[in-house]
Amino acid sequence: MSRRAAATARRRTAYHHGDLRAALVTAATALLDTEGPLGVTLRGAARGAGVSQAAPYRHFSDKSALLAAVAEDGFRRLRHAIARAARTHARDPVAALRAMAIAVVRFAAAHPSHYRLMSGPAVRGRDHPALRDAAVGAWALLAGAIERGQRAGRIRPGDPVALSFALWCSIHGLAVLAVDEQIPANVLKVVPLEQLAEHATRCLLEGLAPRPPSRAARRARPASRATARQ
Amino acid sequence: MSRRAAATARRRTAYHHGDLRAALVTAATALLDTEGPLGVTLRGAARGAGVSQAAPYRHFSDKSALLAAVAEDGFRRLRHAIARAARTHARDPVAALRAMAIAVVRFAAAHPSHYRLMSGPAVRGRDHPALRDAAVGAWALLAGAIERGQRAGRIRPGDPVALSFALWCSIHGLAVLAVDEQIPANVLKVVPLEQLAEHATRCLLEGLAPRPPSRAARRARPASRATARQ
DNA sequence: CAGGGAATGTTGACACAGTCAACTTCGAGC
DNA sequence: GCTCGAAGTTGACTGTGTCAACATTCCCTG
């Protein structure tokens, strides 16, 4: 993975680290897990890699560049988790979607600080295209599953991207609420997190299911201009 | 509004500020809007209030206490925005819910940094009960609207808290995605943000609508244990 | 095989942040 | 009128991001 390993196997010397970039990402990730988002520090990562304070600047232009690399790594892992969940239900697209949702929430619960970093203000996708791509890559799996569901007649027709977007909002919203500890105790007491994911996903998937023309659905006016402002 | 005005009208002197606490919250909010979340600083807020660096410690034990006060204020405003939206559709509970969702997303888009702070790692609800209460108070309006919808037969029966939670996930997820600039360009290009809110809300509300027993909904197995791990 | 860039690390320094201790000033109640 | 506590100030400490100047090592070219 590292450009060093790909090269002629430079040996680490006392002076040159060998693969500092990867070591810094690892150290920063460790800090993230143990100390939380505010505990991640450029100097701390350097210490963790056994290197001086300014060394990171040979590999990252910025603190936020380091954080972006960490976040990108997180999205890679998240994508793998989602893909694995999808594979376990290759036959049933709806079950696959549910499993994917649970995988996301599980990932968030297992690595709260990491998930926070991935979707937080510390790194803006705009400034780090690779991060953006990694994020989109992870969530794009949802659209694929939606499409399979449509082909199987389990999900109503329509733009898969638009439909998966609604699902994305739900799942990400739940994950973020969990990670930010904003789920009220009276909810979490009764129902464990994964069941909440199932619940939220089911509510949405029922909305996405094909259905005979329903009076209630059509009664809803398409757009009311008299909504609240601000 | 300020406790100063309520009291015997202490006058501000050169030395004593009069109502530093409120001034600090205002200054911090201004910093948040202009400089972003990372630009909010205790010293900066003190400067903004025309006061020395250590003065805030007479009113806030901590930087995070200041941030919590700012976030709490944000939740108060958010609750008002939601309540106003609900009032504009007193007759149609489903339209009210849609309007509430749009109000939240609008708020988030208008004050991105503020919304981020309100739901971010900077302040943990656990450490600031008043913040937690403000957040719950804002979102509780959803459950009320759901209940009205049930009474009107527009929303299927069930625990209003559980149903509103699914809606909460959707709305908050969309708001957070917007605020974090994670909505892919190919989505935002085609559809403006408020329409996305309508879309997501509609998908979910259709899932929450009362419906004749449907085969597709029942076919979904209640829980599959073979989901992905990690 | 030699030698010279280019990478990669190191040291030292600067500005600024959060935070605290010690001191000062002001308003209110005995 | 005087004192006491609340509210503000000054000065200092540590830790952080960042940079410039210097040191070391790798690897390519002759």
Q: What number of other Cβ atoms are within 10 A of residue A16's Cβ?
A: 11
Q: Which residues of B touch A64 (CB under 8 A)?
A: none
pLDDT digits (tens, 9 = 90+) for A46-95: 999 999 999 999 999 999 999 999 999 999 999 999 999 999 999 999 99
Do B40 and B119 reside in the same domain of the chain?
Answer: no
Do B47 and B109 reside in the same domain of the chain?
Answer: no
Q: Which residues of A touch B107 (CB under 8 A)?
A: 230
Do A47 and A120 reside in the same domain of the chain?
Answer: no
- Tell me if B225 sits within 8 A of A221, measured CB to CB: no
Q: How far is B7 from chain A (nearest CA, A)?
A: 32
Confidence label for A223 from pLDDT (cuts 50, 70 and 90): very low
Give the residue among A84, A88, A87, A75 at the shortest CA–CA distance from A137.
A75
Do B125 and B28 reside in the same domain of the chain?
Answer: no
- How much is the pLDDT for B5? 36
Residue A168 to residue B180, Cβ atoms within 8 A: no
For range A222-226, the mean pLDDT: 42
Of A106, A176, A206, the CB nearest to B119: A176
Query: Is the sign of the CA dihedral B206, B210, B214, B217 positive or negative?
Result: positive
Please report the DSSP string for B162-201 in residue order.
HHHHHHHHHHHHHHHHHHTT-S-HHHHTTS-HHHHHHHHH
A8 occurs within a structural domain: no
* Residue A63 CB in 7 A reach of strand D: yes
Mean per-residue pLDDT of chain A: 85
B165 CA, D24 C1': Å apart: 60
Residue in chain A lying closest to B92 (CA): A220
Do B109 and B45 reside in the same domain of the chain?
Answer: no
B68 CA, D7 C1': Å apart: 22
Query: Which pair of structure tokens corresponds to residue B85?
Result: 């939206």
A5 occurs within a structural domain: no
The three state secondary structure string of chain A is: CCHHHHCCCCCCCCCCCCCHHHHHHHHHHHHHHHHCHHHCCHHHHHHHCCCCCCHHHHCCCCHHHHHHHHHHHHHHHHHHHHHHHHHCCCCCHHHHHHHHHHHHHHHHHHCHHHHHHHCCCCCCHHHCHHHHHHHHHHHHHHHHHHHHHHHCCCCCCCCHHHHHHHHHHHHHHHHHHHHCCCCCHHHHCCCCHHHHHHHHHHHHHHHHCCCCCCHHHHHCCCCCCCCCCC
A-B contacts (CB, under 8 Å): 221
Do B48 and B81 reside in the same domain of the chain?
Answer: no
Do A44 and A141 reside in the same domain of the chain?
Answer: no
Of B81, B135, B161, the CB nearest to A228: B81
Do A156 and A127 reside in the same domain of the chain?
Answer: yes
Per-residue pLDDT at A2 exceeds 70:
no
B126 occurs within a structural domain: yes
Domain count, chain B: 2
Of A107, A161, A227, the CB nearest to B102: A227
- How much is the pLDDT for B209? 82
Give me the CATH number covering residue B197. 1.10.357.10
Q: Does A104 touch chain B (CB under 8 A)?
A: no
B151 occurs within a structural domain: yes
Do A84 and A161 reside in the same domain of the chain?
Answer: yes
Q: Which domain holds residue B42?
A: 16-60
A227 occurs within a structural domain: no
A140 occurs within a structural domain: yes
Residues 3-32 of A with CB under 8 A from B: none
Query: Which pair of structure tokens corresponds to residue A32?
Result: 């993230």
Q: How far is A23 from chain B (nearest CA, A)?
A: 23
Do A104 and A189 reside in the same domain of the chain?
Answer: yes
Do A113 and A203 reside in the same domain of the chain?
Answer: yes
The protein side of the strand C contact, defined by CB less than 7 Å from any of its atoms, consists of A 15-18, 20, 51-55, 58-59; B 8, 10-11, 13-16, 41-44, 53-54, 57, 62-64
Which residue stretches of chain B have pLDDT < 50? 1-10, 217-218, 220-230
B216 occurs within a structural domain: no
Q: How far is B19 from chain A (nearest CA, A)?
A: 28
- How much is the pLDDT for B12? 61
A26 occurs within a structural domain: yes
pLDDT digits (tens, 9 = 90+) for A101-148: 999 999 999 999 999 999 877 777 677 888 888 888 898 999 999 999
Do A50 and A84 reside in the same domain of the chain?
Answer: no
Give me the CATH number covering residue A50. 1.10.10
